[in-house]
Amino acid sequence: MSENQNLLAEQRRALIVDEVRRRGGVRVNELTRKLGVSDMTVRRDLDALARQGVLEKVHGGAVPVLEASTHEPGFEAKSGLELTAKEDIARAAAELVAPGTAIALSGGTTTYALAHHLLDVPDLTVVTNSVRVADVFHSAQRASGRRQGAATVVLTGGVRTPSDSLVGPVADQAIASLHFDVLFLGVHGISMEAGLSTPNLAEAETNRRLVQSARRVVVVADHTKWGTVGLSSFAALDQVDTLVTDAGLPSGARAEIAEQLRRLVVAGEPEETPEDTTEL
């Protein structure tokens, strides 16, 4: 079978991880048929994903990694997953940002993708506890020079986590003294029972401060985050104004979320408009 040249390696591996998580395990021959690539290519992909710790190789295929609630993948391990979904979410979330506003971006690979889409929004003030997010704006300014309307970036201090976020008392104190219009929040997990959660206790407290300092909270999370629960919850679903996610979110989850949140945005799909109940 000829190699499928339409899929980059990172896209193919994201599809493999999604298939493993959705089905609870896959065989190599199933992946070769689905992806249109050779056994050797699939096995190389499985080796790479196993090294990243996102799946476990078994004889003839792969199964999900059973992660403890305290397991916190690094930024690089997460950055290759759900690339298309994250890009779609970032594009949809960027449409919610008005010029001249003060926004906050938490750490995470989805907020990192969002930062790239905000470079041309004029006169933003960006508060972030993410080294990666801050570097997106600083790199753009170094490349083009300080231009009129470029974002003003406030990077909190703190202790660096595996996901390259700055957390702890220094970050918490800095955030508590600020007030921003919208917080765009990446999450490790989201569920009806646990709300928003993370495996990192210090990051949970920093995220609480971010939520408290925001007029509106927008969660940016792909469908694989639904049903995942980390060690520490830091916000209930009713504290979230908007969830921006992708089309992979199951219909049952959409119905549950819609009951708790003011707004659900599924990237690439038209928003459902509530029936007008205004009395004539």
Note the pLDDT of residue 10.
75
Same domain, 120 and 173: yes
pLDDT at residue 67 in the model: 53
Residue 135: which domain range? 76-266
Domain boundary residue, one of 40, 66, 92: 66
Same domain, 103 and 170: yes
Whether 3 is covered by a domain: the verdict is: no
Query: Does a structural domain hold residue 253?
Result: yes
Whether pTM > 0.85 for this model: the answer is no
Q: Residue 87 and residue 82: Cα distance in Å, rounded?
A: 9
pLDDT given for residue 73 in this prediction: 55
Is residue 1 assigned to a domain? no
In this prediction, residue 277 carries a pLDDT of 36
Residue 148 burial by Cβ neighbours in a 10 Å radius (0-12, 13-18, 19+): exposed
Q: Which residue's entry shows tokens 């199964």?
A: 63
How many whole angstroms separate alpha carbon 22 and alpha carbon 14? Answer: 12
Q: For the chain, how are helix, strand and coil distributed in percent, rounded to 5?
A: 40, 20, 40
Q: Name the E strands within 51-151.
A: 55-58, 61-64, 102-105, 125-128
- The enclosing domain of 34 has a CATH number of 1.10.10.10
User: One digit per residue, pLDDT tens: the chain, 280 residues?
Assistant: 344 444 678 778 878 887 887 777 889 999 999 898 999 999 999 998 888 777 888 888 888 765 544 445 554 555 555 578 899 999 999 999 999 999 999 998 999 999 999 999 999 999 999 999 999 999 998 887 777 788 999 999 999 887 789 999 999 999 999 999 999 999 988 988 899 998 888 999 999 999 999 999 999 999 888 888 888 999 999 999 999 999 888 888 898 888 889 999 999 888 765 444 333 3
**129 and 96 in a common domain:** yes
Same domain as 160, residue 193: yes
Distances (CA, A) of 214 to 32, 56, 66: 47, 39, 34
pLDDT digits (tens, 9 = 90+) for 17-36: 878 877 778 899 999 998 98
**What local confidence, expressed as pLDDT, does residue 144 receive?**
76
